[in-house]
Chain A
Amino acid sequence: MRLRYPSNIKIIKVPCTGRVAIIHMLKALEEGADGVMVAGCLEGDCHYQSGNLRAKKRVIYVQETLEKIGMESERVAMYNLSAGDGPRFAEIAREMTEKVQELGPSPIKKGKKKTSKKSKVEVAA
């Protein structure tokens, strides 16, 4: 479709968001991601029944952990959309990028504030 979405997004494809574990999200943040987005199928439409529901619970767990250690829980978010919905993907990618930019760079990063921010995105193919 050749729609535009921000270039700061690194996409990691998984067969189902159910494959995304808590450690993956935490590691992404450890490696310097300013935000982590988990994009899965619409609830009820999961190809593997309930993978996206499991992902949702894990995202919540990571958000709660971030709060407990004093990091903004909004840096991690779950989105649900139809696999073929290109425009919606572009939309949420922009939305997440804006949100993370507002939060600023990840607090674990040393050095001066950079203007371009990286967000890592994990998407079900």
Chain B
Amino acid sequence: MNTTTPSKLEKILAEGHFAVTSECGPPRGANGEVVEEKANLIKDHVDAINVTDNQTSVVRLCSLAACIRIKQMGLEPVLQMVTRDRNRIGIQSDILGAASFGIHNILCLTGDHQHFGDHPQAINVFDLDSTQLIQTVKLMRDKGELLGGFEMKELPKMFIGAAANPFADPFEIRVARLAKKVAAGCQFIQTQCIYNMEKFKTWMQQIRDQGLHEKVAILAGLTPMKNVGMAKYMKNRVPGIDVPDDIIERLAAVPKEKQADEGIKICVEQIEELKEEEGIRGFHIMAIEWEEKVPEIVEKAGLYPRPEIKVSEN
């Protein structure tokens, strides 16, 4: 199967393996070594590592710098980029910067509104939205052009991804939106973390009805619950997350010191179930501030060792 970029993630998917990705949340300070520590915890168990971009509008060490560090460790980063904080000039500039360090994966996001974070007084940019960011990367990669028309000699070779939220209502808009992102050039999707399996499978069915599962590689997003408190927090305070009551009950039924293990168990069960779901091409495990558990989850889900892939930089 052909690939469009030197991306290792793209190659793994092209060869028909389940891809496994995870993420690093960068620190709220100037210490880049935190990124290295987190990456080292998961490096043998994932194919690529996402770095979040000022997630929930909270200022953190920038995704680009962290991705460069990860690349220099010999690992495969996925640059998450939101359109909330930069205009098209800054965005294209950062894409070129990332490409210049051999970063080949980008996740195109609009970004949480700044009202969620610690700088609600800030202006937001949103010169582009996530779909237009996809278009921009595709234009730069395939035509070698910037939005303003300038033709570049050295093109960024980026495997283009986006996020999808199967849980926001109404469904029909969600599927239409994914179709739009695919039409714009999106090649892989990482979904919002899944707890409501029934709803997710309904979404997948609608995706398949439109034939979208053949045009884009869908990686199911999963976040293991540490305890029942986290489950309740995610249900009530985080936008776009659907946590069914039976997950909360299942965690609450177990003594506090056992809840973490139960959360891992739920996550592994979900992976096993989703392996059977047509159109699922991989898993994006977001173990926020719990990166050390990723290896355990990957191993218990039968996804270890990761396939060895050789990619050239051409």
Q: Check whether chain A touches chain B (CB < 8 angstroms).
A: no
Q: Which residues on A are within 8 Å of B, measured CB to CB?
A: none
